[in-house]
A and B are shown apart, each in its own frame.
Chain A
């Protein structure tokens, strides 16, 4: 009897040890696909209301008769009243559409919004909280000809001039525009020419950027290359890391990147290898979080990594040690569901924005009354704008 009790106790010790020593235990595998322990499958919109399908007003019913907004590469909420939409051109509608057509490509439930040939217009637009058009940067639409439109859009939270950065993966460049979009002040990479992994002057299908407070930034590069490139605040390439493969520090489609923590770390969505890898700011590998393949990452104001998973269409909240704290979301084309979330952004009022490359829309999620603030995505506060810049 005593021996049996000891045996049970030993197993309990082993089991509890396993639970403690399995830091990514919250990412579980079922039928080869990950499931997330926290946040049930029924939590489709989590702590948010079902989005208004008519947001943004700009795109509804149509940007122009006969055309709808197409694949949405990116969204960035500078504030609740200034939201940048990165639109991969507009798609021609069939001659007849149903009366209940809501104005987004996913409604048809056929091919992804990336598949039809898009008309590259209204590629960068800025809308207010109601989705009313504030600015259309049509003067730059021509930049996206011969590509597939903007991949993502950002403003560094540490930049008082609030330059707007746009990644164009298919043309292998990253643009930096003035805040009002009137000037293109910098182009990183070489338009239409790609470089290989050891080339610090050219990208090959770059995907995403994030910054350190001193302006240093990191680029995930990307669909073609398998590396991260670190730049100083002027855009001078400092170093790179990564090779193709599945081992530590190797990548297969590094598609998302987020920087934060103390000391700062670089979190890279290694999408093709279905994991997030964590590095120091010089590229030294620290750890990996397996079982998730995010299109994009976001470092939140409360220093968590939010990932939009391409495998499960879930929005997943990680602490900086890789533990899942919460998740919600589900594949679909109705309001509140998503089809290939590609960029995640949030404003300081707690509104969440998700752009969908396949669904062909960007949805704005408003928190429910009494929402648990720990389950909302909080965007990082942006540095106040420098004097003389007001828009």
Chain B
């Protein structure tokens, strides 16, 4: 009897913990306005990774879509699948020579607890990793970017647009 109750308790705790884990995933959906950048003179190149004044996010259980100017010279809408798989497509990007060319793009995403980690690459040698967290109405993005020169880091904070 004690054993049976104990097993039920374990099952209940496991289910509860799983549900809690699932519920702990934040929903980043909304339109966000840039409120701060550290360092302020973020050295993005050709627009790559440079903080966008506004970011629009749509999130479903399977994917997150980000519309932003952070991907280069012109704003883009970029999809990240939340199951860790790759999304690959062709689109223009500013190359290292400063010209614009159609290149391959690739994204993927994964959860790390309540943090969402987004990866973006393109064959114009641009890479970006965003670690997104949500706390007290503030979206924080810890951004690392790679281009052929030295790497860069920045912390961006966004508040919900009214």
Rounded to whole Å, the gap between the CB of B107 and the closest CB of chain A is 11
Contact partners of B129 in chain A: CB under 8 A: 193-194
| Stretch binding the partner chain, chosen from B25-33, B37-45, B51-59, B119-127 | B119-127
Rounded to whole Å, the gap between the CB of B157 and the closest CB of chain A is 20
Contact partners of A145 in chain B: CB under 8 A: 123
Contact partners of B151 in chain A: CB under 8 A: 194, 204-205, 223-224
Q: Are A194 and B97 in contact (CB under 8 A)?
A: no
Q: Are A194 and B103 in contact (CB under 8 A)?
A: no
Complex: A81 Cα to B10 Cα, angstroms: 66
Q: Are B150 and A223 in contact (CB under 8 A)?
A: yes
Task: Say whether A215 faces chain B, with CB atoms less than 8 Å apart.
Answer: no
Task: Say whether A213 faces chain B, with CB atoms less than 8 Å apart.
Answer: no
Complex: A112 Cα to B127 Cα, angstroms: 20
Task: Say whether A101 faces chain B, with CB atoms less than 8 Å apart.
Answer: no
Contact partners of A192 in chain B: CB under 8 A: 119, 121
Q: Are B121 and A205 in contact (CB under 8 A)?
A: no
- A-facing residues in B105-162 (Cβ within 8 Å): 106, 119, 121, 123-125, 127, 129, 144, 146, 148-151
Q: Are B96 and A146 in contact (CB under 8 A)?
A: no
Q: Are A117 and B150 in contact (CB under 8 A)?
A: no
In this complex, how many residues of chain A approach chain B with their Cβ under 8 Å: the count is: 20
A117-B121 contact given A148-B148, A170-B127, CB 8 Å threshold = no
Rounded to whole Å, the gap between the CB of B138 and the closest CB of chain A is 22
Contact partners of B119 in chain A: CB under 8 A: 192-193
A114-B121 contact given A146-B106, A170-B127, A194-B129, CB 8 Å threshold = no
Rounded to whole Å, the gap between the CB of A49 and the closest CB of chain B is 33
A117-B144 contact given A223-B149, A224-B150, A224-B151, CB 8 Å threshold = no
Task: Say whether B101 faces chain A, with CB atoms less than 8 Å apart.
Answer: yes
Task: Say whether B65 faces chain A, with CB atoms less than 8 Å apart.
Answer: no
Q: B95's closest neighbor in chain A, by CB?
A: A117
Contact partners of A170 in chain B: CB under 8 A: 125, 127, 146, 148
Q: Are A205 and B123 in contact (CB under 8 A)?
A: no
Rounded to whole Å, the gap between the CB of A123 and the closest CB of chain B is 14
Q: Are A148 and B97 in contact (CB under 8 A)?
A: no
Contact partners of B96 in chain A: CB under 8 A: 114-116
Rounded to whole Å, the gap between the CB of A324 and the closest CB of chain B is 27
- A-facing residues in B57-102 (Cβ within 8 Å): 95-97, 101
Contact partners of A194 in chain B: CB under 8 A: 129, 144, 146, 151
Q: Are B97 and A115 in contact (CB under 8 A)?
A: yes
Q: Are A115 and B95 in contact (CB under 8 A)?
A: yes
Complex: A359 Cα to B106 Cα, angstroms: 29
Q: Are B150 and A116 in contact (CB under 8 A)?
A: no
Contact partners of A193 in chain B: CB under 8 A: 119, 129
Contact partners of B125 in chain A: CB under 8 A: 147-148, 170
> Which of these, A117, A223, A224, contacts B101 with CB under 8 Å?
A117
Task: Say whether A272 faces chain B, with CB atoms less than 8 Å apart.
Answer: yes
> Which of these, B95, B124, B146, contacts A205 with CB under 8 Å?
B146
Task: Say whether A277 faces chain B, with CB atoms less than 8 Å apart.
Answer: no
Rounded to whole Å, the gap between the CB of B90 and the closest CB of chain A is 12
> Which of these, B103, B106, B146, contacts A117 with CB under 8 Å?
B103
> Which of these, A116, A205, A253, contacts B97 with CB under 8 Å?
A116
Complex: A117 Cα to B97 Cα, angstroms: 9
Q: Are B144 and A253 in contact (CB under 8 A)?
A: no
The 5 closest A-B pairs by CB, nearest first: A224-B151, A115-B97, A115-B96, A146-B121, A111-B97
Q: 14 A-B pairs, CB-CB below 8 angstroms? A: A114-B96, A116-B97, A117-B95, A117-B103, A117-B123, A117-B124, A192-B119, A194-B129, A194-B144, A194-B146, A223-B149, A224-B151, A252-B150, A253-B150
A: residues with CB less than 8 A from B are 111, 114-117, 145-148, 170, 192-194, 204-205, 223-224, 252-253, 272
Given contacts A116-B97, A146-B106, A194-B146, 17 further A-B contacts (CB under 8 A): A115-B95, A115-B97, A117-B103, A117-B123, A145-B123, A146-B123, A147-B125, A148-B125, A148-B148, A192-B119, A204-B144, A205-B146, A223-B149, A224-B144, A224-B150, A252-B150, A272-B150
